[in-house]
Amino acid sequence: MAEQLVPLGEIVTTHGLDGWLKLNPFNADTTVLVAGRPVHLDLGAIHKTVELAADAKPFKKQFLIKLRGIDGIDEAQRWVGATLSVDEAALEPLDAGQYYHYQVIGFAVFHKDGTRIGTIVSLLSTAGGDILVVKEGEKEYLIPAVKEIVDKVDFDSQRVIVDPPQGLLDL
């Protein structure tokens, strides 16, 4: 069975003339973007595996990355818009009770009273913390992923139980 790929961010533009790229990371705290790490690039029907030629450099709210074999702006330009992923095994192990965002995408979300709220379609990382983006039909809910609201993340049943403050689901 093939290793699961975990998206780390999107390449948004080039940087300089030597083939560096700017990556908008999905997790600004990632530490896996190091020299020699194989990464996977997906751009529509084009898929390529390359190694990072250097450690990623923080740059504002992005990372500057250099890919082995991409040594000029023209070569780098063709990867703008690509999603950069790594093998799941490259991720740092987590402490008990922690999880990566990609692991809860698709989980059903229920109110503690048993009412179904919807399905997690994505997570947003904000300065104030992570937010679960939950959809049910045309309705979208933004639920802060904090211990005061999220009662339980059940990986066996792929469910998240929440106890939102009154009015949060009415927004």
Q: Which domains does the chain have, with CATH numbers?
A: 5-90 (2.40.30.60), 101-170 (2.30.30.240)
- pLDDT (0 to 100) of residue 2: 57
pLDDT, tens digit, for every residue of 25-78?
A: 887 788 899 999 999 999 999 999 999 999 999 998 899 999 999 999 999 999
Averaged pLDDT score across all residues of the chain: 92
The enclosing H or E element of 48 equals strand 46-51
Q: Is the pTM of this model over 0.85?
A: no
- pLDDT (0 to 100) of residue 40: 96
Percent of the chain at pLDDT > 90 equals 73
Distance CA 143, CA 95 (A): 23
Which amino acid is present at 99? Y
Torsion of CA 20, 11, 37, 63, to 10 degrees: 70
- Tell me the two tokens of residue 140: 């979208």
| Confidence check: pLDDT of 97 > 80 | no
pLDDT, tens digit, for every residue of 64-81?
A: 999 999 999 999 999 999
| Confidence check: pLDDT of 148 > 90 | yes
Between the alpha carbon of residue 100 and those of residues 36, 49, 114, 139, the distances in Å are 23, 22, 25, 25
